[in-house]
Structure 1
């Protein structure tokens, strides 16, 4: 099957021209320090200037051990996963409690306790979903469990998914969650960094996006149900390591950011049945030879990315601005960056990125997750031994 490659990449020169025409900086810059240092966590709240809004940045909680995923509880508290294995309930004042009943995780290399998401009807059923690496120091897999949150404990914990095989090395777990409007759950699974590459094999969960019912069963309308040799959970495939994923609640579009090798970080529009090319088609360079990775940048039957994120971002965490709290950002994507230690604000028109602004550059550290909160503010997690939960609000 040949798939039309609908969008070409927007050249950086064109983005530079757009930015230059605006007369505004493309990187947020400090204005002043707002108030004294926060004695509870040692981070000074600060004010930054972006193209359209002045921003207040404050740390809600520090001292987190490689925080990875964030969810918002109805009472205003936050659920935060630590890759080292703990699930924390954090209050707006920064105090925290450890949630009991979390499964044992294989916290080696990039593995551990990873994403967290609440069931869409959490207020009625209490279900919390966790992705994590399961196994030992040599062979691991990506797994998903759910449990009901009661009195700071997960009860009725049950497995709903485990990758079809355990393997080494301990990297590229993917593991981001997103709920679709029909109540099905998308889960990204990384390619596991394995040799030979596995992301083109429909009989392997590696390098895919899965679609599951809330109880882990397979929707009958998944694109590969009934296909000989294909795993029925697979919704899309040919990805390297998706660690940012968000669904537009109006259009239903599924946006995802993906790590590339030595450059080649991507923004993709994920659709059922699509093959996103990895490793046959890619934008990055081989770590050993520095040559173009794969056969070509684009191949027939494989879907090109919407946007190549340059310079290298190391993308993890993706949010869509839907509230009117940041009026000039509505409809924009905010992509977190680990390696680049910043956010990228991506302005999209007709599925093409027309502008790209850097925010929080070297202000908070390696950004692992970014979410829009129920209050409309933007929240980020930083991936460090002494990681933090930060709140970004408008100062206008």
Structure 2
């Protein structure tokens, strides 16, 4: 995501100079203003350190969690869409099912909403929004007694029921009480969006009722596409509070309506001091503006300080208008007027002339937002969380700090971020909350009575019991912070007796330094050691859960866990070659030999009976070296795969709707590959990824991805289609042989020689696979890909490094110099005269070569000899000048290429 604009190096240098001058000429009055500003509360303007928050996982593997409610006693109720009500009990550190409704859970329906009565501590009432099973297609809001931590189904009081079309989509379902005791109920527009190409769903044809949001969101006599506001009565009925959108007598519309013109207000929030209503509006799917239809899709965060019409399906975002569109003959009409919207649909049973449309508070499309660039790009599902006030939790140490006072918490299910918004009269200031913490599709959040923030995470896949779904509690530590436990082991698999060296390296306490106590359990039960880094021997085969618990001097604890598998020694595999292991050269042949040593299976060499069990491949991928290295580090099964497409998919939002083999809300990748096998579908499918689409796999639309280029989308399609028709030209190689680097055309690609072996397993321990990979990159190296640097500016955009001070340097780690006889350094025009030294293994290490670089008005290449050595080094390229004045922010030296030149001789494996 390009969330920040790039600033050129020249501009940066000029600004630095200007700022230096300004800093020297500050007036006394400016200094006085600084002192005045510093006297204000820093806590109110500066976000707290992220390490002052701890994220505690309370429960995992939830089945489609929807909403939660934190009870005054600290217990947490939460619902799952299939109809289950669960209760987390802190004392037991576990959840259990405490009630279950018989619900219709097709489409987006089910058990959707939960809230506690404001007087829950006295009356034990809870409210649920759900879709009753049965023939009647309705949604229902009911009150239940929740007594002795159990839901009494027989106590149900039905507040309201209303009919829906069970053909698809947009159910809403959130429940929330305001400070005056009013109950707010969000209801989606119950409209299929896919048949409108992601624009306004106003299809008025007789057989398309489900595709016309004018029947619901824009219909004053319909409860769908609204946020309702009612006052529950003691007998289970309700009354209408003052200030709703339409008169209480129902003469102009349903009196329960507080806001209309809502598409899918999935999560709502009430400011418990002001009574202001906030909600996230899940928006339409068009990826770009269309002159014949209207604006592209936006998600919204809205605020209602009073009842109003929020525009859907005629407007989106800051009242960007759609055009009237005749779906019968595909003709366009006039733009709708936000000051005087008109509902002329034959499906409208309410007012024709609607209240003026209100603008969204925050809004953003699939691509970058010019108004709110911090929100990023990609799929989107905006939701609204609570507004925080410190004095609602006056005595709890976990209460969030003053910085969050009056801030609205918002979150995005697809983009997996949480932000806070400081909302002014005419401005909104957004701040990322815990930017280094990953939230697996947050779906609801609420502050508990203890001042901590409780969050439900839905998990990766739609309609699934996700392993990464969870209930978490986020606590703030104003004074003493919880320690951070880290545990590691030098080995995690081995034959018995299996001796393992454990380490707590990385464990820290932000406040007490090293004043921690350690407790290691090597069987998950008994404490075996109180050392920081103990050694333990496992004498019996088995899978062991190892836990490290650390405790600070005030009693705060944290725990880290490892899994140890004792009973099967991993095989040892090696690829022997005296060829260079870092670079390839044109049409260069080299020999290799693979050896495998396995304690249980025996040793395997070329010609051994088990030789066929050793898989050896040599392949070339046109993707860049860095991409291949990243992929190999994560997934060594990527042999002959389209790595670029695979990595693009991995880093996108695709996983929210698709998986490799199983259907989610969208088809599996394998299903797509099978359907399109043998067809020339790459460009069409790539276009659908970019623009979005619907209809081929059901009614749920696929989100647009306008931020992707056509080339990137085609790479993604190439990977997906390749699943059903994998390339078969890559044949396994013998354990000993010869290969040639003759497949490349440019210098971006990578060769890799990989060898793997899976043993037979032992002592009931599963088989273990070991691999070794030699990845060979082009010998012309981009210096901006260095592993570390000091005193240089890295220019990845143009592939350069800029040396700006004496003894500045760049480092490349793990470079094999086997067969390398010289280096060629390419520099750009410069006024600097200097020496570039090549040092090995450490700064100040052995200098193996050096080049005298001259000031020049043209590009220069310097070739310097290197004594060949069959070993791997860290290479430090260190720039040295005769005097410090020769180099600085105005006089710099750029290197744009380093080439490793081959020694001309053949290498053989002995």
Gaps of 5+ in 1: 1-11, 15-49, 287-293
Q: Among residues 339, 362, 366, which one is paired with 1:307 in the alignment?
A: 362
| Superimposed CA distance per residue, residues 269-308 of structure 1 (whole angstroms, 9 cap, x where no aligned partner) | 124441100000113999xxxxxxx946955411111121
**What SS class does the counterpart of residue 213 from structure 1 fall into?**
strand
Give the superposition deviation at 1:317: 4.6
| Superimposed CA distance per residue, residues 154-194 of structure 1 (whole angstroms, 9 cap, x where no aligned partner) | 2311211112x221333211111221222121111111124
Gaps of 5+ in 2: 6-45, 192-209, 286-296, 323-333, 341-355, 370-376, 391-398, 460-464, 479-910
Q: Which residue of structure 1 aligns with residue 475 of structure 2?
A: 393
Give the superposition deviation at 1:119: 0.4
Change (3 A) 1:333 1:313: farther
Change (3 A) 1:272 1:143: farther
| Superimposed CA distance per residue, residues 201-252 of structure 1 (whole angstroms, 9 cap, x where no aligned partner) | 0111111111112234231534322243522211221111112222222222
- Are 1:350 and 2:445 an aligned pair? no
Q: Which residue of structure 2 aligns with residue 159 of structure 1?
A: 158
| Superposed counterparts of 1:229-308, under 5 Å | 230-262=253-285, 263-283=297-317, 295=335, 298-300=338-340, 301-308=356-363
> Equivalents in 1 of 2:273, 2:419: separation in Å?
22
> Equivalents in 2 of 1:383, 1:179: separation in Å?
23
| Superposed counterparts of 1:5-20, under 5 Å | none
> Equivalents in 1 of 2:231, 2:359: separation in Å?
28
Give the superposition deviation at 1:123: 1.0
Give the superposition deviation at 1:382: 1.1
- TM-score normalised per structure 2: 0.35
Q: Among residues 442, 446, 450, which one is paired with 1:375 in the alignment?
A: 450
Q: Which residue of structure 1 aligns with residue 36 of structure 2?
A: none
> Equivalents in 2 of 1:253, 1:107: separation in Å?
32
Give the superposition deviation at 1:108: 1.6
Change (3 A) 1:264 1:285: farther
Change (3 A) 1:89 1:280: same
Whether contact under 8 Å (1:341, 1:361) holds in the other structure is no
More helix by share: 2
> Equivalents in 1 of 2:142, 2:189: separation in Å?
20
| Superposed counterparts of 1:147-226, under 5 Å | 147-155=144-152, 156-163=155-162, 165-193=163-191, 194-197=210-213, 198-214=216-232, 215-219=236-240, 221=242, 222-224=244-246, 225-226=248-249
- Are 1:98 and 2:180 an aligned pair? no
Give the superposition deviation at 1:327: 2.1
Whether contact under 8 Å (1:59, 1:390) holds in the other structure is yes
Give the superposition deviation at 1:388: 0.6
Number of residue-to-residue matches in the alignment: 342
Give the superposition deviation at 1:313: 3.5
> Equivalents in 2 of 1:268, 1:316: separation in Å?
10
Q: Which residue of structure 1 aligns with residue 389 of structure 2?
A: 322
> Equivalents in 2 of 1:276, 1:61: separation in Å?
37
Whether contact under 8 Å (1:218, 1:232) holds in the other structure is no
Whether contact under 8 Å (1:70, 1:116) holds in the other structure is yes
> Equivalents in 1 of 2:159, 2:414: separation in Å?
32
> Equivalents in 2 of 1:61, 1:226: separation in Å?
47
Give the superposition deviation at 1:364: 2.7
**What SS class does the counterpart of residue 364 from structure 1 fall into?**
coil
Give the superposition deviation at 1:329: 1.3
**What SS class does the counterpart of residue 206 from structure 1 fall into?**
coil
Give the superposition deviation at 1:61: 0.6
> Equivalents in 1 of 2:310, 2:381: separation in Å?
18
More strand by share: 1
Q: Which residue of structure 2 aligns with residue 334 of structure 1?
A: 409
> Equivalents in 2 of 1:69, 1:131: separation in Å?
10
Whether contact under 8 Å (2:84, 2:101) holds in the other structure is no
**What SS class does the counterpart of residue 209 from structure 1 fall into?**
strand
- TM-score normalised per structure 1: 0.78
| Superimposed CA distance per residue, residues 299-339 of structure 1 (whole angstroms, 9 cap, x where no aligned partner) | 54111111214545402351212235232111111112211
- Are 1:81 and 2:65 an aligned pair? no
Whether contact under 8 Å (2:271, 2:386) holds in the other structure is no
**What SS class does the counterpart of residue 279 from structure 2 fall into?**
strand
Whether contact under 8 Å (1:261, 1:285) holds in the other structure is no
Instruction: Give RMSD over aligned pairs.
Output: 2.9
> Equivalents in 2 of 1:143, 1:389: separation in Å?
26
| Superposed counterparts of 1:141-152, under 5 Å | 141-152=138-149
The 10-residue stretch of structure 1 (212-221 or 106-115) with the greater mean CA deviation from structure 2: 212-221
Whether contact under 8 Å (2:164, 2:190) holds in the other structure is no
Whether contact under 8 Å (2:230, 2:241) holds in the other structure is no
Change (3 A) 1:74 1:208: same
Whether contact under 8 Å (1:67, 1:81) holds in the other structure is yes
> Equivalents in 1 of 2:453, 2:48: separation in Å?
15
